[in-house]
Amino acid sequence: MTQADKSGGPPRAHAPMAAFRRTMANCGFIDMVFVGSRYTWSNKFTKERLDKGFQTPLWRNWFPHNRVITLDPSESDHSPLLIEIQAGKQRKHRSRRLFRFEEIWHENSECNEIIKQGWAHPLTGNAL
């Protein structure tokens, strides 16, 4: 797509890259977000991003949090790509807030009775 997709070796010709970008635009494709190494192929002297993931705007609307993950190469000089698709952003589960007893509650005349009633109820579940 661009010279930034290559490190080392002779520069790529501009005309083929421009033709490829036009083709992707004519098809309505947009580059997917990637995670991991920028480069998907390498030899001793050159690294290049030869492999990419593309999507349409409609696909992006359906799956707004998808991405391409560049995995580490194993036997090959190419890095495999993993396409991760999520319909919605995964939310972190909020931990329950800890109960804190406030010293000022002792000043309330009903405080002792409320505590006694609470301790009088049978416990269900984990005692901790």
Q: What total of structural domains would you count in the chain?
A: 1
What's the CA gap between 83 and 102, in Å, rounded?
A: 51
Domain that holds residue 33: 3-84
What's the CA gap between 14 and 124, in Å, rounded?
A: 71
Assigned domain for 105 exists: no
Chain segment 45-81, per-residue pLDDT in tens: 999 998 999 999 999 998 888 899 999 887 888 899 9
Assigned domain for 47 exists: yes
Q: What is the mean pLDDT of residues 98-104?
A: 77
Q: Above 80 in pLDDT, residue 99? A: no
What's the CA gap between 117 and 128, in Å, rounded?
A: 19
pLDDT-based confidence at residue 1 (cuts at 50, 70, 90): confident
Q: What are phi and psi of 56, to 5 degrees?
A: -95, 160
Residue with tokens 């901790």: 128
Assigned domain for 71 exists: yes
Assigned domain for 122 exists: no
Assigned domain for 60 exists: yes
